[in-house]
Amino acid sequence: DAKTTQPNSMESNEEEPVHLPCNHSTISGTDYIHWYRQLPSQGPEYVIHGLTSNVNNRMASLAIAEDRKSSTLILHRATLRDAAVYYCILRDVVSNDDMRFGAGTRLTVKP
């Protein structure tokens, strides 16, 4: 019952920007868009989340399409430490649904 669609894998070169796409065509008005990443042998780590407007923090930027049916996580300058599995998750804040993870996108960063 995954509500998001992400590519299985992506590659990037070190110090170049990375754009990780996520499709969520059935998003509702109260669904927040969350991004988490999981480095090898660690638990998932919060990256960023947003509802309607684009968001920026020290780790990344989140660009949300005007119709909210897709979003893009932007890493401005990829480093080797950004190699991880990135998960895009919708969470309905009204129903307080829990986080439901899909398979995510495995990002490989090449030196």
Partner 1 sequence: DAGVTQSPTHLIKTRGQQVTLRCSPKSGHDTVSWYQQALGQGPQFIFQYYEEEERQRGNFPDRFSGHQFPNYSSELNVNALLLGDSALYLCASSFKSGQQDYGYTFGSGTRLTVV
Comparison of 65 and 93: residue with beta carbon closer to partner 1 = 93
Considering only the stretches 14-22, 34-42, 53-61, 64-72, report the one whose residues sit in contact with partner 1 under the rule CB under 8 A.
Answer: 34-42
Contact (Cβ atoms closer than 8 angstroms) between residue 38 and residue 104: yes
Comparison of 13 and 57: residue with beta carbon closer to partner 1 = 57
Site for partner 1 in 51-80 (CB under 8 A): 51
The only residue of 14, 103, 108, 110 in contact with partner 1, by rule CB under 8 A: 103
Pairing of strands 9-13, 105-110: parallel
Q: Give min distance, CB of 96 to partner 1, in A.
A: 7
What number of chain residues touch partner 1 (CB under 8 A)?
Answer: 26
Conformational region of residue 41, where left means phi above 0, alpha means psi within -120 to 50, and beta covers everything else: left
Distance, in Å, from the CA atom of 83 to the CA atom of 18, rounded to the nearest integer, reads 11
The only residue of 15, 16, 45, 76 in contact with partner 1, by rule CB under 8 A: 45
Q: How far is CA 88 from CA 34, 63, 72, 91, in A?
A: 6, 12, 9, 10
